[in-house]
Amino acid sequence: MLERRLIGLALVALILSLAATAHADEAKAPFLVVSDIDDTIKITNVLSIGSAVKNGLFGQQTFTGMSELYQELAKNGQAAATPAGSMNPPVVYMSGSPPVLEGEIHDMLVEDRKFPEGRFLLRDWIKTKDVYTFKSSGFKALAAEVKMPFVALGDDTEKDPNVLSEFGVAHPDRAAALYIHRVTGRPLPEGVTPYFTAFDVALMEFEAGRLDAAQVARVGKAILDSKNPEHLFPDFTQCPEDLTYEDTPKVSQSPDLMKLKAQVADYILRFCFKRNNGFAILDVPKMHVASPAEQSIMDGQLKRVHEKLLRDVEENL
């Protein structure tokens, strides 16, 4: 418990340090966040009919770090003006769920899980039979309505990769970023960028200039503070056995972010090694304490990744 408190205090100090050096006054170009819901921000398991129905109707759990990520993106993305002059929230939630569930979905995401307010575009199951047509038409309508770049997020369980890729081809000047959550690990079309966690997206958005260092640190802290890594990687998702973050120019210039990047990678890899190799995960908060035999096995697999991350940190101190 004391160790977790010390880590928490250190992370708070890190965020304050990064906030002091962030360019808060730097002008940022406006952008609109367009996001899928199920298996992108909400844990649903849409490929299992039973789980999809149960979680779609009653599920309340979202992926760790996503609410913090969306809060920070919403702060920096300016509200989009419609042709009529009214102002929309900076986030659009687009889902194949029926409109009758909008109230429940809104309350779960915004009231309970603290996602930012947004427009909800849901599929009329009578008028539009398939999700692909609904989302393709939705992106086309938004592109005509909102004259600013999109930061779009979906997942690889169904048609999101194709929808986002085709949007990027049709509107290359509007596709600021097209992110796909790795759930199944299937091959992806060109033009989309895969990610495992909210922290991955935060790092890429920092590199693109749409988030600052303190905002990235907040997302990383949410992951490290998580008491249940299975809310990062539920049992139906792909859990990476190797996680090497690319050495990007802006991140490499921040020793604090380099250190945080190494901590998040270590946290994820240790959990995924246990899950992928059948170790029982009984006490998640004490996940970092392993038996000597387990530690020896994990250290062998993690050695290459750790050495590279540590070199990156040392080179940038």
Buried b (16+ CB within 10 A) or exposed e, 20-51: eebeeeeeeeebbbbbbbbbbbbbbbbeeeeb
- Give 202-249 pLDDT, tens digit per residue: 999 999 999 999 999 999 999 999 989 999 999 999 999 888 777 788
**Alpha-carbon dihedral 164, 169, 170, 176, rounded to 10 degrees:** 60
The predicted pLDDT at position 52 comes to 84
Low-confidence ranges of the chain (pLDDT < 70): 1-28, 78-88, 280-317
pTM of the model: 0.80
The predicted pLDDT at position 166 comes to 98
